[in-house]
Amino acid sequence: MALLDLVKHRKSVRDFLDVPVEREKIVMCLEAARLAPSACNSQPWKFIVVDDRQLKDKLCDAAFGGIYSVNSFCKMAPVMVVVVSEKSKFLARIGGMFRGTKYYLIDIGVACEHFVLQAEDLGLGTCWIGWFNEKGVKSVLNIPQHKKIDILIALGYYDREKLGSEHGREPIDKIASFNSY
């Protein structure tokens, strides 16, 4: 699909089918993420794919209890991807301190969107998940406590008929201008 069509087609999916996702497709999504640009080519990410049913259920129980239960729809997703934010290269960190910019978060965002768009192109649905119990996720997957997890991605097949209505977006003339602010 042409990129703009793909972007128009993608929506957050919160209602997944109980169908396993082929490993080859997951690897294609990882490949798209792997090729993402990053500040100083730091590649400050590690993607932990959880597609084992029992482990995924345990992960969701730990991630989406209490105040995070709004995201418990993720229990339906056959795959959860945990994105560990790794340390950027020295130059990117120093540059980021000077600029007051968290380049690593931009990097993670770009890589995750590559993942998500590749998934969409393969007929798979995704939902970015930023609201979750980070400690719980770490303990289930033996991720050291000092590591940072900023985002998860729910992944799986979905029924397009069941998708909600379009999310509104601001028009171009409100979000962009030519030649001055």
Residue ranges in contact with ligand FMN by CB under 6 A: 11-12, 14, 71, 127-131, 151, 167
Closer residue to ligand FMN, CB minimum distance, 89 or 105: 105
Who contacts 171 (Cβ-Cβ below 8 Å, separation ≥6)? none
DSSP code, position 98: H
Q: Which is nearer to ligand FMN, 24 or 166 (CB)?
A: 166
In angstroms, give the least distance from the CB of 167 to ligand FMN. 4
Our CB check for ligand FMN shows the closer of 14 and 58 to be 14
Distance CA 16, CA 159 (A): 7
Q: Least distance in Å: CB of 24 to ligand FMN?
A: 25
Largest Cα–Cα distance in the chain? 54
Q: Which is nearer to ligand FMN, 26 or 108 (CB)?
A: 108
Closest to 60 in 3D by CA, of 81, 75, 76, 77: 75
DSSP string of 22-65?
A: PHHHHHHHHHHHHT---GGG---EEEEEE--HHHHHHHHHHHSS
Q: Which residue has the tokens 């770490």?
A: 138
Minimum separation from the CB atom of position 170 to ligand FMN (A):
12
Q: Which 3 state secondary structure label does DSSP give 145?
A: coil
- Residue of closest CB approach to ligand FMN: 130
Q: CB of residue 63 vs ligand FMN: minimum separation in angstroms?
A: 10
Output 37 or 94, the one with its CB closest to ligand FMN: 37
Whichever of 14 and 34 has its CB closer to ligand FMN, that residue is 14
Residue 163 beta carbon to ligand FMN: minimum distance, rounded to whole angstroms:
8
Q: How far is the CB of 38 from ligand FMN (least distance, A)?
A: 17
Q: 11 near 127, Cβ under 8 Å?
A: no
Q: Can you tell me whether residue 111 is helix, strand or coil?
A: helix
